[in-house]
Amino acid sequence: MGLAQDAHNVRVIGSGLQTIVLAHGFGTDQSVWKHLVPHLVDDYRVVMYDNMGAGTTNPDYFDFDRYSTLEGFAYDVIAILEELQISSCIYVGHSVSAMIGIIASITMPHLFTKIVTVSGSPRYVNEPNYFGGFDHKELTQLFDAMKSNYKAWCSGFAPLCVGGDMDSLAVQEFSRTLFNMRPDIALSVAQTIFYSDMRPFLGHVTVPCHIIQSMKDLAVPVTVSEYLHKNLGGESIVEVMPMEGHLPQLSSPDVLVPVLLRHIRYSIAITE
């Protein structure tokens, strides 16, 4: 096993000519894809990994400088693909991993036949003529809450983010993986994500993108998916789904999984 594979707990399962890479968002790990994976393994080679800083990774490997920008995470993706000798893949990126995949695709477009984004945003902060969903004051309060009592912050943030019933399995699952992160690493990653601005890079994307978004998402307003669609350099399609929350693969798998499968199969039909 290569260094990147080892550090990111890479798992390769299933078999098929086409490789699907599943990339998780903030506060989760590869287990977030558990409802999707069984539908893929018979037809595709599926690659899953954990982003550096996830509770399942070794905190000693987390380099605060490297991961102060999303590029650090994007170079990890490229390193994993190169170690596995993957020459092309369909990349499914949730939340921050949507933008991580977009950066990786600008650097190495030949590695990606398509990017499917789930709950992705290029900019979380409101700007003149741009509604990202948060103002600076709200983010300062969020980070202060993370610093003062991480466990209490997790139990408040998880149901808001999942957008479901407090006792739902999806909320419990997200609470578990969120709480598994080391608090100082979680704070650092959250700051990197919330302060990043990927808008200037969108025009450089040449890989086709399918943008999937919940109708109601605390972290990503619906207008953001339209913004992505208008500003991406390559072809793109938007689907706003009748789902609630930022982690639809946990809270609404019955709605999301068929859509993901359709996008994956559709692109294969095009490339064959």
Residues with active-site annotation: 95, 217, 246
H-type alpha helices, 108-251:
136-148, 150-162, 169-179, 183-195, 222-231, 248-251
Please tell me the distance from the alpha carbon of residue 236 to that of residue 229, in angstroms, as a whole number. 6
Please tell me the distance from the alpha carbon of residue 175 to that of residue 157, in angstroms, as a whole number. 8
Strands 45-48 and 11-13: antiparallel
CA nearest to 25, candidates 78, 65, 73? 73
3-state secondary structure of 76: helix
Please tell me the distance from the alpha carbon of residue 33 to that of residue 46, in angstroms, as a whole number. 11
Question: Which stretches of the chain are assigned E, i.e. beta strand?
Answer: 11-13, 19-23, 45-48, 89-94, 112-118, 209-216, 236-244
Contact 226, 238 (CB under 8 A): yes
Please tell me the distance from the alpha carbon of residue 143 to that of residue 91, in angstroms, as a whole number. 30
